[in-house]
Amino acid sequence: MVHIIKKRKLWYLISLLVIVPGLISLFTQGLNFGIDFVGGNITEVKIHQDVSVEQVRAVVQKQGLSARFITESGEKNFLIRTEVLTIAQNESFLTAIDEDLGGMTLLRSEKVGPVIGAELAQKAIIALVVASVLMVIYITWRFEFRQGIAAIIAILHDILVVIGIASLLQLEVNTAFVAALLTIIGYSINDTIVIFDRIRENMEIKKGLKLDDLINLSLWQTMPRSINTTLTVLFVLVAMYFLGGVTLKDFMLAMIIGVISGAYSSIFNASPVWYEMLGEKRKKKTVQPVEA
């Protein structure tokens, strides 16, 4: 059985090998912000023929435009949201819809601002910071301050992994992506707290055990629960990725990456980081037996 705590530098290295390329991509090519962040054009048309959303999407994609946000808004009515179009691009786009789909009537064509503005993004960051502080306070009250810091580091690991891979793959960053990030944070912290809880229980019943051995024992005891929970969630996410349609693909891929990262960081980062933070104390710390 691998001693997870004694091999902790290996787990840190694996995390760095995933995070560093993502950070390089983040600083070189940045994120692919969707129209929720940068605004765009919204067009509503009534198609004269019976067509599907996929047929409309194919025509939009032929024009080299984003075709993720297309919904049927009524009988033969379609709402199409794209990036910002010039007058020439808009005319070419409407002509293609008219000619390729058997005629159409334009109901609406207008430019819209970003759904997520700078102020909203700022408030979201502030909310995330406040939530992190509250999590540290709760974990400090229930466990220990350094475990709270270790849990936040694990969450930061997951955020960097998801954002970095999103930059590498140029996944579209929109409101669904933000929702995926928030879901991943909740998933990760829950798994971490379960492990910390087992460590605390073992400190009461496994007297005389060295701290690194006790943490390692606790991690292996919770491993089946972590793996089973992760696999159960992944089965659903993978099914939705392949069967849920094009509009869900980026959201589901972000969730899949985040769930895997969350399970990894909870097991291989949070507790080892906490052990690391104990410094010289950890070398001497032993869970003392109760005197008879």
Domain check: are 253 and 161 in the same one?
yes
Of 48, 83, 112, the one marking the end of a domain is: 112
Give the other-Cβ count within 10 Å of 247's Cβ. 15
What integer is the mean pLDDT of 84-99?
87
Could you read off the pLDDT of 224-261 as tens digits, one per residue? 999 999 999 999 999 999 988 777 888 899 999 999 99
Distance of alpha carbon 18 from alpha carbon 176, whole angstroms: 23
- Give residue 292's pLDDT: 32
Q: Is residue 241 part of a domain?
A: yes
Q: Is residue 290 part of a domain?
A: no
The identity of residue 178, as a single letter, is V
Could you read off the pLDDT of 100-121 as tens digits, one per residue? 888 888 888 888 777 666 676 7
- Give residue 289's pLDDT: 44
Q: Is residue 238 part of a domain?
A: yes
**E strands along 22-67, which residues?**
32-33, 40-47
pTM more than 0.85 = no
**E strands along 125-236, which residues?**
172-173
Q: Is residue 292 part of a domain?
A: no
We report the CATH number of the domain holding residue 209 as 1.20.1640.10
Domain check: are 190 and 87 in the same one?
no
CB 34 within 8 A of CB 172: yes
Give the other-Cβ count within 10 Å of 22's Cβ. 19
- Give residue 262's pLDDT: 94
Could you read off the pLDDT of 2-24 as tens digits, one per residue? 999 999 999 999 999 999 999 99
Give the other-Cβ count within 10 Å of 156's Cβ. 15
Could you read off the pLDDT of 32-80 as tens digits, one per residue? 887 777 778 888 899 988 888 888 888 888 888 876 678 787 778 888 8
Closest CA to 136 of 148, 152, 153, 154: 148
- Give residue 290's pLDDT: 38
Q: Is residue 289 part of a domain?
A: no
Which residue segment(s) compose the domain that 171 sits in?
8-33+117-284
Which residues, at least 6 apart from 55, have a Cβ–Cβ distance to it below 8 Å? 101
What integer is the mean pLDDT of 152-162?
94
Distance of alpha carbon 165 from alpha carbon 182, whole angstroms: 16
Give the other-Cβ count within 10 Å of 20's Cβ. 12
Choose between 239 and 288: higher pLDDT. 239
What integer is the mean pLDDT of 281-288?
54
Closest CA to 161 of 259, 252, 32, 242: 259
Element (H, E) at 81: strand 77-82
Compute, in degrees rounded to 10, the torsion defined by CA atoms 171, 176, 179, 183.
Answer: -70
- Give residue 235's pLDDT: 96
- Give residue 130's pLDDT: 86
Task: Output the CA–CA distances (angstroms, integers) from residue 14 to 18, 239, 269, in the order listed.
Answer: 7, 28, 10
